[in-house]
Structure 1
């Protein structure tokens, strides 16, 4: 499954862009947080060099291969990075996976919901997707709540070899609310 590279999602307060090697310090900061390591994955990012290698070999490689990935999310007003959000195409999942992570300094401000909604809007309008999925660590209630607010429905669990773990699995389907379209 591949998609055209660009345009990118957007929202009122947030701008989405491809990550660059200049973002290595932010990636190190984000991926070193205990919640990131616990709920997403510990990639062993110990230095800006490790983060730059991750950006090149994982993040940008996904965009090159599929046209989508986890965009860097920054504040429009200041250009300050706050997190990552986008789509991960996984061989083990039928649908693209909505993924997100926000630095702890920016949680509780509505950025996750705003970014997630921007990606959903982008997926339906630009990519013509009607169904997405998402996975979360079974103990990650915060992400599960956000997915529910975005309209995802819990659909059991999946064991994924790619992450060598069992994750809670959610599905989102575009629902037509206007009469005659459903």
Structure 2
């Protein structure tokens, strides 16, 4: 695990065609609050932020405290931060989980697919991971479509896997293996 963390430290910025994945800073608070305070955007991921100070604290405590593998998604053309994507290394394995959130004003433009492809390439090509996976709330099939576009394969559904916003959630899991990525 320490070796993978060390490898990840070399890739705090990843550049795509239209986006830049980079560390979050407190300067991103207003852009993040724009979507973190929107019920529709955060419905499946976290509790809605009620003020800008809450967003700043979230950035400091989650993104800045342990920044490796956590990226702001910035539009290269405008410099606007439109979402986040994480590559979460799993201890005791050679795998990682992807998680993402995107401002609803930028949905259906391929930005999360582009970011996901960059993260998957980083995981397999630079870090030598064997498996990358993701899950989504069964009531959010659009997230599953992203996983399919990333080349991930359906693995299964964990019924009533967790409680989120006072409801039992079925989590749908997808993954991609290194051998599938390179074939």
TM-score by length of 2: 0.82
Distance of aligned partners of 1:56 and 1:145 in 2 relative to their CA distance in 1, 3 Å threshold = same
Number of aligned residue pairs: give it.
Answer: 172
Asked if residue 28 in structure 1 is aligned to residue 28 in structure 2, the reply is no
Distance of aligned partners of 1:157 and 1:61 in 2 relative to their CA distance in 1, 3 Å threshold = farther
Stretches of 4+ aligned residues off by more than 3 angstroms: 160-166
Q: Shift of the alpha carbon at 1:160?
A: 5.0
Looking at structure 1, the residues matched to 38 and 27 of structure 2 have their Cα atoms a distance apart, in angstroms, of 19
Q: Which residue of 2 aligns with 1:68?
A: 69
In the alignment, structure 2 segments of 5+ residues that lack a partner are none
| Bigger mean CA offset, 5-14 vs 82-91 | 82-91
Asked if residue 12 in structure 1 is aligned to residue 17 in structure 2, the reply is yes
Q: Is the 8 A contact 2:157 2:172 kept in 1?
A: yes
TM-score by length of 1: 0.83
Distance of aligned partners of 1:87 and 1:10 in 2 relative to their CA distance in 1, 3 Å threshold = same
More strand by share: 2
In the alignment, structure 1 segments of 5+ residues that lack a partner are 178-182
The root-mean-square deviation of aligned C-alpha atoms, in Å, is 2.6
How do residues 20-169 of structure 1 correspond to structure 2 at under 5 angstroms? Answer: 20-42=25-47, 44-63=48-67, 67-69=68-70, 71-89=71-89, 95-158=95-158, 159=161, 165-169=169-173
